A = this chain, B = another copy of it.
Amino acid sequence: MRRFAADRAKRLLFRSLFSSAATPSAPFSSSPAAAAAAAIDSAARSVTVDTINPKVLKCEYVVRGEIVSHAQRLQLELQTKPGCHPFEEILYCNIGNPQSLGQQPVTFFREVLALCDHPSLLDQSETHALFSADAVERAWKILDAIPGRATGAYSHSQGIKGLRDAIAAGIAERDGFPANPDDIFLTDGASPAVHTMMQLLIRSEKDGILCPIPQYPLYSASIALHGGSLVPYYLDESTGWGLEISELKKQLEDARSKGITVRALVVINPGNPTGQVLAEENQKDIVDFCKNEGLVLLADEVYQENIYVEDKKFNSFKKIARSMGYDDAHLSLVSFQSVSKGYYGECGKRGGYMEVTGFNAEVREQIYKVASVNLCSNISGQILASLVMNPPKVGDESYESFDAEKSGILSSLARRAKALEDAFNSLEGVTCNKAEGAMYLFPRLHLPSKAIEAAKAVDAVPDAFYARRLLDATGIVVVPGSGFGQVPGTWHIRCTILPQEDKIPDIISRLGAFHESFMEEFCD
């Protein structure tokens, strides 16, 4: 199955989930009807879907695509006509957005942010009744690291030096190898960092980026926006989404034989949407592969705190490379981290960084220049990035409550992952690998041929058809696997493990009832 040509897979990957026949108002379609409507408009104005940048048209981001627009419509209907659907609320399991589903922010982090936002609090006696002593102390330390204590000023293009120092220290403590604050570029979440690297590396469609399939669609979207070629490598579902070097080599050679210059390899560890955690030996092979083939290793490590199984642990690719004796001279490596994931889940703060190692000074200056055009990332996000990489330690006043919040969230996520994994595996024709880490399950749907035919009849991709039916029946929003890429002929959905624990039994029961009725309707 995995021998399908790369371009076939790419066509499938970028294909709209629903054509205009199924949903005339579907966003992102460019049907003949839409083109006609556009032609009428162009009489008045020059900007139509036919005259905009085709790279924008080509880009897809299914995590917030048609299924979510439909869910938003249903939610509006529920508000205006309560009882009009067979469910009372929409459950957004489409996106890794923990706090939208009730996860509470970590108190210490928010205390420090509030104090840095309104530093005059630090001079007030009442403040000590409201904030922990170490939050006050940390806020002072952060303010002292900011020139003029000005949290409202643009910072250095890479971020405030003192915060980068704290992050580098956190990385060094995590890895046992030194980190350089000058290698840190603070960003508004991980997404802009990924865009920056794609912008740097991609010259034309002849430049390729090796990406896992399934992948997080930020990568396919960013490659499309920057006009490059996604070179897929398939994760092996039968071995728990294993990443095989032979597959990397095969796809690299295949791309090269087509005249593609492969510039980088994207690895998402822990995996999104697939949830696997790479073994150390596997990571070493990946590092060697990149080193030997002259590829930049783009390591998406935003789920580094999200590990739910005893026998796996997170190793950064930088730690692996350094432990092999490789330094800047051997490997170009970019590690992406975000405040949106982990136990913190601070998606709305848009904080993150990339650690950029193994590029020469001239290229680094180009990255610095691109960062400078956007001035700097938001200071609250910068502060938060320094906090997640340097949280309270044993002995700090906040440590016990902080640790209770952290381990409460992580252990609950582990229980939810297991419960949902078991639930999916209990369904007829569904198989689901373990979520060793990250925030998602990616069960495979072995759909009856009648369901596939029914999907085709409304010009829908089968897993999108299933996801739409699931939403309409239960209010549960999942993302069709086709938005992430999958071995052609296989169908999946991505479902987050993020609903609060007390909702899980109801979700499982609704899911089971829907699935049973779906399979009954379409049984062969």
Contacts and interface: CB of A to CB of B under 8 A. Distances in A.
Interface of A: 27-28, 30, 34, 37-38, 41, 44-49, 51-57, 59-61, 63-65, 95, 97-102, 105, 107, 110-111, 113-115, 117-118, 120-121, 124, 126-127, 129-130, 147-148, 150-155, 157, 188-189, 191-192, 195, 199-203, 218, 221-222, 225-226, 263, 294-296, 329-332, 340, 345-350, 358-360, 362-363, 365-366, 368-370, 372-381
A132 to B, nearest CB: 11
A150 B500 CA distance: 14
Contact of A59 (B27, B369, B377): B369
Contact of A49 (B41, B101, B115, B362): B362
A201 B47 contact: yes
Contacts of A363: 47-49, 52
Contacts of A157: 64
Given A363-B48, A369-B59, A374 B199 contact: no
Contact of A192 (B65, B151, B369, B374): B374
A154 B192 CA distance: 15
A127 B115 CA distance: 13
Contacts of A54: 203
Given A44-B329, A49-B363, A151 B348 contact: yes
24 contacts: A30-B362, A46-B294, A47-B263, A48-B362, A52-B203, A52-B366, A53-B202, A59-B369, A97-B153, A98-B153, A100-B148, A102-B148, A105-B152, A110-B118, A113-B118, A114-B115, A114-B117, A126-B129, A152-B345, A191-B375, A192-B374, A348-B376, A350-B377, A378-B378
Contacts of A59: 369-370, 373
Contact of A130 (B53, B127, B358): B127
A351 B317 CA distance: 34
A340 B152 CA distance: 8
Please indicate which of the listed interface residues A102, A117, A380 has the most CB atoms of chain B within 10 Å of its own CB: A117
Contact of A366 (B49, B189, B330): B49
A191 B374 contact: yes
Contacts of A221: 373
A348 B116 CA distance: 12
A101 B370 CA distance: 24
Contact of A380 (B52, B126, B349, B375): B349
A42 to B, nearest CB: 9
Contacts of A375: 64, 189, 191, 347, 350
Nearest to A34: B362
Contacts of A34: 362
Contact of A369 (B61, B97, B222, B345): B61
A194 B313 CA distance: 42
Nearest to A348: B379
Please indicate which of the listed interface residues A150, A203, A362 has the most CB atoms of chain B within 10 Å of its own CB: A362
Contacts of A151: 99, 105, 348
Nearest to A118: B114
B370 A56 contact: yes
Contacts of A340: 154
A435 to B, nearest CB: 21
A75 to B, nearest CB: 10
A37 B373 contact: no
Contacts of A368: 27
| Chain A to chain B: the 4 pairs with minimum beta-carbon distance, closest first | A114-B118, A100-B153, A350-B378, A348-B379
Nearest to A160: B348
Contacts of A203: 51-54
A332 B366 CA distance: 34
A348 B100 contact: no
Contacts of A154: 95, 97, 100, 340, 347-348
A322 B360 CA distance: 53
A391 B233 CA distance: 52
Given A55-B199, A98-B153, 6 more contacts: A46-B332, A52-B366, A95-B154, A97-B153, A152-B349, A378-B380
B99 A152 contact: yes
Contacts of A330: 44
Contacts of A350: 188, 375-379
Contacts of A370: 56, 59, 225
Nearest to A374: B191
Contacts of A61: 369, 372-373
